[in-house]
Structure 1
Amino acid sequence: EIILEILARLPIKSLFRTKCVCKLWYKLASHRSFTLAYNELSVKNVMVLVEVTESSTESTSSLILIDNKRGVSEFSLDFVKDRVKIRASCNGLLCCSSVPDKGVYYVCNPMTREFKLLPRSRERPITRFYPDGEATLVGLCCDLLSNRYNVVLAGYHRMFGHRPEGKLICWVFDSESNKWRKYVCDEDDHGFTHMNRNQVVFVKGCLHWMTQSFSYILVLDLKLDLWRRMVLPAEMGCGNGSGNRVYLLESQGKLSVIQICSGWMNMWVLEDYEKGKWDLMDRVSLRCIRGMVPGIFPISQGGDYVFLAGHKQVLVYQRKTRIWKEMYSVKNNCTMPLWFSAHSFRGTIYKMKPKPILVPMAMAMAMATTFYVLCFFLSVAPVPLPKSDQNLLEFPLNLEYMEAEFFLYGSMGFGLDHIQPNLTGGGPPPIGARKANLTPLITDIITQFGYQEVGHIRAIKSRIGGGFRRPLLNLSAESFGAVINQAFGKPLYPLFDPYANDINYLLSSYIIPYVGLTGYVGANPYLQTPTAKKLVAGLLGVESGQDAILRNLLYERATLCVVPYGITVFDFTNKISELRNKLGRAGLKDEGLVVSPYLGAEGKVKGNVLSADTNSLSYGRTPKEILRIVYGSGKEQVPGGFYPHGRGLDHIQPDLTGGGPPPIGARRANLTPLIRDIVAQFGYQEIGHIRFHLLPNLLYM
């Protein structure tokens, strides 16, 4: 593990040199687990990329990379085989436009020296009547987890000789489909300076640009294809006044704004993206560089430092030591200003064109064995895991998605689509989930649970890979109300609402984590590798902790009556546990908060703050039992309840193809929502049929 930690901290060039050491290290840089670990560290090291251009001959330029830790190094984009101009940067990728050929764009990773020529967004040639070869705004967003990127070109349509019309035309390129999509919206011309256009920030699945007036931020939501405006800190006193300048940056995954005004540099960070809450992170006196203030511009910032570029110099300000340092300067008087072409940059391993490596079977087996043994001794997850372990780890994702969405919506009013949209796998949003009416203490606890579930999903998906999609979840009040009615064997009036108050929400939460807990206990004996067992042990520890806290909170309120039903809390928990035992059809594996003495610990107590067997060990359930419970049908083949369309599948199930070729000519049909819903159900049903014939032991008994 120490070796991998060291390798993960090397510069990319040095890392690639280590490929010569042995076959294992040669393959290491392309392993997804190592790549994710490397990128997670490298994105924290924010650098500056500067194009030094001689004004006398604009065709002559050189690129300089400035690193706060390693100093200055030369840089080159000669592998693109074209004269290009950098337009945007995001997570190690650059979007460049061709200088000689208007409308031609590239996306490249200069560290791996790979690039992709994007298809033209339009076939019509550029003429004097349609001068739109260069977009007003160019944005790039790169998701390192999903290995997917988008390029955005936006501008105002105008006829030759006329002012721009009030229509903002936007083209979005998707790396997965390799296609552009276009949409037009009514937006006034916001106006953007050169620095505004350069400093586009990708945060929370959206691209952000500062407008020329410094009065608001223009935001493009890529998932919804929607433009909106974001307000700046009210305390900033923004306005395009004398000596007041505002710049948009990114700081450790959050949106940040730096204001230079009256000899001070104010650094703001958007702590709560959904509520638009800005906090003043730091206030820096510019007295030490007073003479440079009018011509200096913030370019990028890390956790404790900020890069600023002037006409001939690049400075770094160390926030901890309050020290200014010159990182780079040019002596030639004939250069363009450095800030004019300076971009924030991070070095990452992002494969633009992954290619399969074909090796003889014997060599492949030997390499796999060597890698597995070394990873075992280094306590690193071997990749890939055995298929049986992948199946056992994949199944709990269905429950983790349910817990994450229920806790996030209940505490904050939004879910994974806002917190970590890349983890949804493109699955549909939950039905009926909403913010609960909770007290501050319960809100705080449930918020922690929600973020913990996000980590669980990330941990599982990073081990099993694939494109597992979030299943359709029904988290509406009607869905929970139906479970409670089923538990009592009669309808309660009014319908039980899980989001009404603390007690209702805690009772609804009582339904969820315990089912996942028993699933992990049941799966553990069937796991083959130490890696999978270690992961399940970590998940089980937190899931059992969540269940213990929920049961403790309910145990404190056990004798309270649930309004307006006049039924005590412990009666609710007992009925829910009895229902789960009935649906699971596997005997007693669930107990309420108050039980008969013979069911209590050592057969001596009625209190049952933790549910366990006669030896006080946790119960375990099989996937079939869990499906019977969460479907609410008592049958693992009949979806319903919280999963209207059944459990999720790995996008969809590549292992069921047996390595066969893909179909010829199949594509998505132009269907109405109703027909699309019906046909999607048919498709998932057919997948179940294939699995039934090929993988009869997938769900163990």
Structure 2
Amino acid sequence: MDRGNKAPNLYGNKKSRIYMDLKGIIRENALPYLLAKSLFRCAGVCRGWRFQISTAFFAHNQSNSFRSISGFFFQSLAGMPAFMSLDPRAYGVPDPSLTFLREPVDVRTSCNGLLCCQGRTAYRPYYICNPANKQWKELPKPDGDHGPDPAVVLVFEPSIMNFTANYKLVCPFPSELGEYKFEVYSSDRGSWRTSGEIRFDDNEKLLPKTGVHVNGIVYWLSTRGVTSFDLNSELCRLFSSNLENLGMINGKLCAACIRNQKLIVFMLTNPQSHTRRRAAVKTWTRILPEIKLR
């Protein structure tokens, strides 16, 4: 038999070109789409993968490639932060109780993997942290008094073209005269700034833990409907509604309510309209079929 004509074992030889090409394809095109818990395991495959995963550019690329929801942070009955994973075998964080922070904290808001927590001592500082790698930053003291349960909203929209991944923290707070002011912390400036926009309404109160950011506008449920604050124009609007929960679907603000034991979902179709304009423009449109709860 002529052994010189035998085809080489390309799939079994680790030095073959096919093996090297496949290894590079997985490293460059598959790893960025894995979640953090899986990446920690993949870091032990080889030295090249460990170096690739540890770079800042890879972390930036992974944050823009993997956008699935892995779980939810919540406050336990004992008052400690906790993480509820949608799949404990695949999703998780190293320290669900956030004990890597300087003090016990309360979780206030989150956005695309970042958490905003508030301390329980001193002036109750805000902390912005990444629970996946336990990195955190304490923000400077705000100028205004945000109260014991602030309606703060974290705005973090990572972009593949924005390597610095800046974020903002928006908090409405009532002043001594009763009107609402808006204070914004910007990570690129590293400081707070109070907007010149003031909302006068003695009968309105913005509800904590209801804020949602959609396309440059922050929305809150209030005692009079839905209040918005545009981060670019810094204009405040009020949308009349009797809805109960806010969220985002396909880049649009959505709200849900329960009527006659049925869950109904609406979408904001005209974000430029508000209660002061009596134009015959439909603000909310019902989407999705009604869901019977019983």
TM-score (normalised: structure 2):
0.74
User: Out of 128, 137, 143, which is 2:157 matched to?
Assistant: 143
1:209, distance to aligned residue in structure 2 (A): 0.6
**Residues 523-562 of structure 1 mapped to structure 2, 5 A cutoff:** none
User: What is the aligned partner in structure 2 of residue 221 from structure 1?
Assistant: 230
Give the counterpart letter for 1:7 in structure 2. L
CA, structure 1 residues 140+34, in 2 after alignment: closer, same or farther (shift >3 Å)? same
Q: Structure 1 stretch 28-37 or stretch 203-212: which is displaced more? A: 28-37
User: Out of 38, 47, 50, which is 2:74 matched to?
Assistant: 50
Give the counterpart letter for 2:201 in structure 1. D
User: What is the aligned partner in structure 1 of residue 84 from structure 2?
Assistant: 65
Q: Give the Cα separation in 1 of the matches to 2:41 and 2:179.
A: 50
User: What is the aligned partner in structure 2 of residue 91 from structure 1?
Assistant: 112
CA, structure 1 residues 2+152, in 2 after alignment: closer, same or farther (shift >3 Å)? same
1:46, distance to aligned residue in structure 2 (A): 5.9
Q: Give the Cα separation in 2 of the matches to 1:69 and 1:271.
A: 37
User: What is the aligned partner in structure 2 of residue 256 from structure 1?
Assistant: 254
Give the counterpart letter for 2:200 in structure 1. E
Residue 116 of structure 2 corresponds to residue 102 of structure 1: no
User: What is the aligned partner in structure 1 of residue 175 from structure 2?
Assistant: 157
- After superposing on structure 2, the runs of 4+ consecutive aligned residues of structure 1 that deviate more than 6 Å are none
SS in 2 for 1:20: coil
1:133, distance to aligned residue in structure 2 (A): 4.7
Give the conservation status (yes or no) of the 8 Å contact 2:217–2:231.
Answer: yes
User: Out of 199, 216, 226, which is 1:205 matched to?
Assistant: 216
CA, structure 1 residues 16+69, in 2 after alignment: closer, same or farther (shift >3 Å)? closer
User: What is the aligned partner in structure 2 of residue 268 from structure 1?
Assistant: 266
CA, structure 1 residues 70+262, in 2 after alignment: closer, same or farther (shift >3 Å)? farther
Greater helix proportion: 1
SS in 1 for 2:152: strand
Give the counterpart letter for 1:77 in structure 2. L
1:268, distance to aligned residue in structure 2 (A): 2.4
1:272, distance to aligned residue in structure 2 (A): 6.4
Give the conservation status (yes or no) of the 8 Å contact 2:266–2:284.
Answer: no
Give the conservation status (yes or no) of the 8 Å contact 2:147–2:173.
Answer: no
Cα deviation, 1:594-614, whole Å, max 9, x if unaligned, reads xxxxxxxxxxxxxxxxxxxxx
Give the conservation status (yes or no) of the 8 Å contact 1:135–1:153.
Answer: no
TM-score (normalised: structure 1):
0.33
Aligned CA RMSD, in angstroms, stands at: 3.0
Which stretches in structure 1 are left out of the alignment for 5+ residues?
Answer: 123-129, 159-164, 233-237, 239-244, 288-701
User: What is the aligned partner in structure 2 of residue 293 from structure 1?
Assistant: none
Residue 198 of structure 2 corresponds to residue 177 of structure 1: no
Give the conservation status (yes or no) of the 8 Å contact 1:88–1:140.
Answer: yes
Q: Give the Cα separation in 2 of the matches to 1:70 and 1:253.
A: 30
Q: Give the Cα separation in 1 of the matches to 2:181 and 2:272.
A: 26
Q: Give the Cα separation in 2 of the matches to 1:39 and 1:281.
A: 30
Give the conservation status (yes or no) of the 8 Å contact 2:151–2:210.
Answer: no
Give the conservation status (yes or no) of the 8 Å contact 1:83–1:99.
Answer: yes
Q: Give the Cα separation in 1 of the matches to 2:185 and 2:145.
A: 21
CA, structure 1 residues 33+271, in 2 after alignment: closer, same or farther (shift >3 Å)? farther
1:80, distance to aligned residue in structure 2 (A): 0.8
Q: Give the Cα separation in 2 of the matches to 1:46 and 1:173.
A: 27
Greater strand proportion: 2
Cα deviation, 1:101-144, whole Å, max 9, x if unaligned, reads 2341111111111100001123xxxxxxx965536421110121
User: What is the aligned partner in structure 2 of residue 280 from structure 1?
Assistant: 287
Give the conservation status (yes or no) of the 8 Å contact 2:146–2:172.
Answer: no
Cα deviation, 1:402-445, whole Å, max 9, x if unaligned, reads xxxxxxxxxxxxxxxxxxxxxxxxxxxxxxxxxxxxxxxxxxxx
SS in 2 for 1:26: helix
Q: Give the Cα separation in 2 of the matches to 1:203 and 1:46.
A: 20
What fraction of aligned residue pairs are identical, expressed as a percent?
25
1:68, distance to aligned residue in structure 2 (A): 6.1
**Residues 344-363 of structure 1 mapped to structure 2, 5 A cutoff:** none
**Residues 511-530 of structure 1 mapped to structure 2, 5 A cutoff:** none
Cα deviation, 1:379-415, whole Å, max 9, x if unaligned, reads xxxxxxxxxxxxxxxxxxxxxxxxxxxxxxxxxxxxx
Q: Structure 1 stretch 37-46 or stretch 106-115: which is displaced more? A: 37-46
Larger relative contact order (CA 8 Å, sep ≥ 6): 1
Give the counterpart letter for 2:244 in structure 1. V
Give the counterpart letter for 1:119 in structure 2. P
**Residues 326-405 of structure 1 mapped to structure 2, 5 A cutoff:** none
Cα deviation, 1:183-210, whole Å, max 9, x if unaligned, reads 3414214224xxx421211110121111
CA, structure 1 residues 204+231, in 2 after alignment: closer, same or farther (shift >3 Å)? farther
Q: Give the Cα separation in 2 of the matches to 1:66 and 1:230.
A: 35
Give the counterpart letter for 2:227 in structure 1. L
1:149, distance to aligned residue in structure 2 (A): 0.3
Give the conservation status (yes or no) of the 8 Å contact 2:38–2:90.
Answer: no
User: What is the aligned partner in structure 2 of residue 484 from structure 1?
Assistant: none
Q: Give the Cα separation in 2 of the matches to 1:71 and 1:17.
A: 11
Q: Give the Cα separation in 2 of the matches to 1:188 and 1:121.
A: 23
Give the conservation status (yes or no) of the 8 Å contact 1:102–1:133.
Answer: no
SS in 2 for 1:198: coil
Give the conservation status (yes or no) of the 8 Å contact 1:150–1:173.
Answer: yes
Give the conservation status (yes or no) of the 8 Å contact 1:52–1:64.
Answer: no
Give the conservation status (yes or no) of the 8 Å contact 1:140–1:151.
Answer: yes
Q: Give the Cα separation in 2 of the matches to 1:155 and 1:111.
A: 31
Residue 133 of structure 2 corresponds to residue 112 of structure 1: yes
Q: Give the Cα separation in 2 of the matches to 1:36 and 1:273.
A: 31
CA, structure 1 residues 271+2, in 2 after alignment: closer, same or farther (shift >3 Å)? farther
Give the counterpart letter for 2:69 in structure 1. N
User: What is the aligned partner in structure 2 of residue 20 from structure 1?
Assistant: 44
Q: Give the Cα separation in 2 of the matches to 1:105 and 1:188.
A: 28
Cα deviation, 1:45-80, whole Å, max 9, x if unaligned, reads 2632222123xxx5xx35132326868867221111
How many equivalent residue pairs? Answer: 253
Q: Give the Cα separation in 2 of the matches to 1:183 and 1:157.
A: 13
Give the conservation status (yes or no) of the 8 Å contact 2:145–2:173.
Answer: no
1:286, distance to aligned residue in structure 2 (A): 0.3
CA, structure 1 residues 283+44, in 2 after alignment: closer, same or farther (shift >3 Å)? farther
Of structures 1 and 2, the larger Rg is shown by: 1
Give the conservation status (yes or no) of the 8 Å contact 2:81–2:105.
Answer: no
